[in-house]
Amino acid sequence: MSAPYAITSHEVSKTYRSVNALDQVSMAVRSGECVALVGPNGAGKSTLFKLCLGLVPPSSGALGILGCDPQEARFSDVKRRLGFLPEQALFQGSLNAHETLRFFARLKGADETQNSGLLKRVQLSEAAERRVSTYSKGMRQRLGLAQALIGTPDLLLLDEPMSGLDPDARRNFFQIIDEEKARGAAIILSSHILTELEARTDRVAILSQGRLKAHGTIGELRKGLNLRPQIRLRADASQMRKLAKHFAGRFDQSVFMNGAAVLDCAPGAKLDLLRELMSDTLEFEGLDIIEPSLEQIFAAHTSGGGTR
The predicted pLDDT at position 263 comes to 87
One domain, residues 215 and 274: no
One domain, residues 196 and 57: yes
Average pLDDT over residues 20-48: 94
One domain, residues 212 and 254: no
DSSP 3-state assignment of 76? helix
The predicted pLDDT at position 264 comes to 85
Domain boundaries, position 267:
230-291
The predicted pLDDT at position 117 comes to 97
Residue 155 confidence (pLDDT) above 80 = yes
One domain, residues 127 and 197: yes
The predicted pLDDT at position 307 comes to 39
Q: Is 133 contained in some domain? A: yes
Contact 204, 38 (CB under 8 A): yes
Q: Is 308 contained in some domain? A: no
One domain, residues 16 and 89: yes
pLDDT digits (tens, 9 = 90+) for 186-220: 999 999 889 888 888 999 999 999 999 999 999 88
The closest alpha carbon to 97, from 124, 120, 136, 122, belongs to 124
Average pLDDT over residues 111-122: 96
Q: Is 128 contained in some domain? A: yes
> Counting Cβ atoms within 10 Å, is residue 176 exposed (0-12), middle (13-18) or buried (19+)?
buried
One domain, residues 212 and 236: no
One domain, residues 156 and 252: no
One domain, residues 162 and 286: no
pLDDT digits (tens, 9 = 90+) for 50-77: 999 999 999 999 999 999 999 999 999 9
Q: Is 301 contained in some domain? A: no
The predicted pLDDT at position 213 comes to 94
Average pLDDT, the chain: 90
Average pLDDT over residues 230-242: 86
Residue 259 confidence (pLDDT) above 90 = no
Count how many Cα atoms sit within 13 Å of the Cα of residue 34 in the half-sphere of its side chain. 21
Q: How many structural domains comprise the chain?
A: 2
The predicted pLDDT at position 139 comes to 96
d(CA 218, CA 205): 10
Residue 237 confidence (pLDDT) above 90 = no
CATH at residue 122: 3.40.50.300
Using alpha carbons only, give the angle 221, 222, 223 rounded to the nearest 5 degrees. Answer: 90
One domain, residues 167 and 191: yes
One domain, residues 164 and 148: yes
Q: Is 305 contained in some domain? A: no
The predicted pLDDT at position 303 comes to 57
Strand 211-216 vs strand 230-234: parallel, antiparallel, or unpaired?
unpaired
Residue 287 confidence (pLDDT) above 90 = no
The predicted pLDDT at position 304 comes to 43
One domain, residues 138 and 253: no
280 band by pLDDT with thresholds 50, 70 and 90: low
Q: Is 297 contained in some domain? A: no
pLDDT digits (tens, 9 = 90+) for 2-14: 458 999 999 999 9
Q: Is 298 contained in some domain? A: no
Backbone angles phi, psi at 175, to 5 degrees: -65, -40
